[in-house]
């Protein structure tokens, strides 16, 4: 877990103690709550693993046969039809793919974007719009470069070379083939 996500979780936990909302959504970069004028109806988060179906080799660790799927969340909320500000806010976060942090009950999930925003009209809420916002976690892989000395690398041509400069090819005369050599001897050519 990175320092930023740890700090985010601490701030959100402190904020959670003073805020009794079961569901809240925050902008990840500055921890400001978004969609403050909406009424949350319910929310759920799916945290699944993909388990490979092929048999694992005897002695192999199970961890090698399980992959984390990106978490998904669905939050149902209501917006008054005349609340253009909240409608635009949802649309902007959707279009900009802004990373958001979601708090549902006592769980906090970071690095989500709005992946779908279907709206629903029903007779219960004639002057309001019901949105079932779908969120998907953006998984980030961090690439690490490790320098290896020549003896550590199995194939020495793949080893890191430091300050070796630019290489220039050297012109060499190719040796003729054996067939060409014999043909030249027979015909007297050089």
C-beta separation of 88 from 96 below 8 A: no
Asked whether the predicted pLDDT for residue 171 surpasses 60, the reply is yes
* C-alpha–C-alpha distance, residues 127 and 121, integer Å: 9
Provide mean pLDDT across the span 143-157: 67
Asked whether the predicted pLDDT for residue 53 surpasses 90, the reply is no
Provide mean pLDDT across the span 36-61: 82
C-beta separation of 109 from 102 below 8 A: yes
Q: For the residues of 4-25, what is the DSSP string, one character each?
A: HHHHHHHHHHHHHHH---SEEE
What separation in angstroms does the CA of 37 have from each of 3, 56, 84, 113? Answer: 31, 51, 11, 20
- Give the pair of three-digit tokens for residue 108: 């906090």
Question: In this predicted structure, what is the pLDDT of residue 140?
Answer: 83
Provide mean pLDDT across the span 170-187: 75
Question: In this predicted structure, what is the pLDDT of residue 81?
Answer: 83
Q: At 3, is the pLDDT very low, low, confident or very high (cuts 50, 70, 90)?
A: low
Q: At 115, is the pLDDT very low, low, confident or very high (cuts 50, 70, 90)?
A: very high
Q: Which of 18-27, 78-87, 116-125, 180-189 has the highest mean pLDDT?
A: 78-87
Contacts of 189 (CB under 8 A, 6+ apart): 183
| Among 91, 114, 94, CA closest to 102 | 114
Asked whether the predicted pLDDT for residue 165 surpasses 80, the reply is no
Question: In this predicted structure, what is the pLDDT of residue 159?
Answer: 59
Residues β-bridged to residue 104 = 23, 107
Q: Share the mean pLDDT of the chain.
A: 79
* C-alpha–C-alpha distance, residues 92 and 181, integer Å: 76
- List pLDDT tens digits, range 56-85: 677 766 666 778 889 999 999 999 888 889
Residues β-bridged to residue 134 = 74, 116
The CB-based long-range contact list for 6-14 (8 Å cut-off, 24+ gap) reads 8/101, 8/108, 8/110, 9/108, 9/110, 12/101, 12/103, 12/108, 13/108
- H/E stretch holding 114: strand 107-116
Q: At 18, is the pLDDT very low, low, confident or very high (cuts 50, 70, 90)?
A: very low
Asked whether the predicted pLDDT for residue 54 surpasses 60, the reply is yes
Question: In this predicted structure, what is the pLDDT of residue 179?
Answer: 76
* C-alpha–C-alpha distance, residues 104 and 74, integer Å: 11
* C-alpha–C-alpha distance, residues 190 and 179, integer Å: 13
Question: In this predicted structure, what is the pLDDT of residue 178?
Answer: 77
The pTM for the full model equals 0.60
Q: Give the chain's domains with CATH numbers.
A: 3-51+60-137 (2.40.30)
């Amino acid at each position: 877990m990175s320092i930023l996500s740890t700090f985010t979780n601490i701030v959100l936990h402190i904020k959670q103690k003073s805020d009794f909302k079961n569901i809240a959504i925050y902008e990840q970069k500055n921890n400001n709550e978004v969609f403050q004028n909406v009424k949350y109806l319910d929310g759920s988060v799916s945290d699944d693993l993909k388990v490979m179906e092929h048999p694992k080799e005897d002695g192999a660790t199970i961890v090698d046969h399980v992959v984390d799927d990106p978490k998904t969340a669905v939050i149902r909320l209501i917006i008054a039809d005349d609340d253009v500000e909240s409608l635009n806010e949802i649309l902007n976060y959707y279009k900009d793919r802004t990373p958001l942090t979601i708090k549902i009950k006592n769980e906090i999930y970071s690095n989500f974007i709005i992946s779908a925003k279907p709206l629903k009209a029903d007779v219960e809420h004639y002057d309001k719009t019901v949105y079932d916002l779908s969120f998907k976690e953006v998984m980030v892989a961090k690439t690490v470069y490790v320098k290896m000395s020549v003896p550590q690398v199995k194939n020495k041509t793949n080893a890191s070379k430091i300050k070796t400069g630019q290489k220039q090819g050297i012109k060499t005369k190719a040796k003729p083939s054996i067939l060409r050599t014999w043909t030249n001897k027979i015909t007297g050519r050089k």
